[in-house]
Amino acid sequence: MSAPSWFGRLLAERNVELTPERSEQFETYYRLLTEWNERMNLTAIKEREAVYEKHFYDSLTLAFHLDPRGIGRLADIGSGAGFPSLPLKICFPHLQVLIVDSLGKRIRFLEHLTAELGMTGVICLHARAEDAGRMPEHRDGYDLVTARAVARMNVLCEFCLPFARPDGLFAAMKGSDPDEEIGEAKRALAELRGRIEAVHALRLPFEQAKRHIVVVRKAGRTPARYPRKAGIPARQPLV
């Protein structure tokens, strides 16, 4: 079974190629997601067309605004069931991907999934973002850092910007209008060496739900005091 015809058609309109092999990978992804979802809570979205629209297509909207062909290393923080990094990896297999998630059973799912998809160049790391952001092999080293529906911007900056290299990007994938969150994040952005570069607005093709991608450029290396100890950024956001 291959991906829905609309999926490939809409991606082609955005210059994202869905080859037969990639279409099969998405179908495997959907099958494993639904199988594992019976044993653990990976997603509340279960119907096939909805998974393709609200998870797979939604993840790939990042590629409509930031060309993955110019990105080498991608870090996905709080990835959950692999969104947005693994749909991006399927369509842009050159990406070297780090997935960070604090829940061990989700990491086990992601390790099984990437093995079944035949993926190389994917690290699934069971860790809190604050702890992983202090690991020398991951700190200040990624071209693009992403987070999808994880936390408010003032918290996300501390979770994500430590992974981005100087002059690298952090892209926060949001639902409704993020203006209020951006306003709240002024101090966090300044402390973590980030500046807003763009905010892209879009809608999902069928449900027409609003989505926003907040793109942050990192100006320099992460100050030594960040990120703070695990749990502190969420309890005491920089405001």
- pLDDT for 146: 97
- pLDDT for 163: 98
Averaged pLDDT of the chain: 96
Number of neighbours of residue 80 by Cβ within 10 angstroms: 19
pLDDT band at 2 (very low <50, low <70, confident <90, very high): confident
d(CA 58, CA 171): 13
Q: What is the DSSP string of 157-172?
A: HHHHGGGEEEEEEEEE
Q: Do the bridges between strand 210-218 and strand 142-148 make them parallel or antiparallel, or are there none, so unpaired? A: unpaired
pTM of the model: 0.96
- pLDDT for 176: 85
- pLDDT for 81: 95
- pLDDT for 144: 98
Tens of pLDDT, residues 116-164: 999 999 999 999 999 999 999 999 999 999 999 778 999 999 999 999 9
What pairs with residue 237 in β-bridges?
none
Dmax over CA atoms of the chain, in Å, equals 50
Tens of pLDDT, residues 23-75: 999 999 999 999 999 999 898 999 999 999 999 999 999 999 999 989 999 99
d(CA 87, CA 63): 10
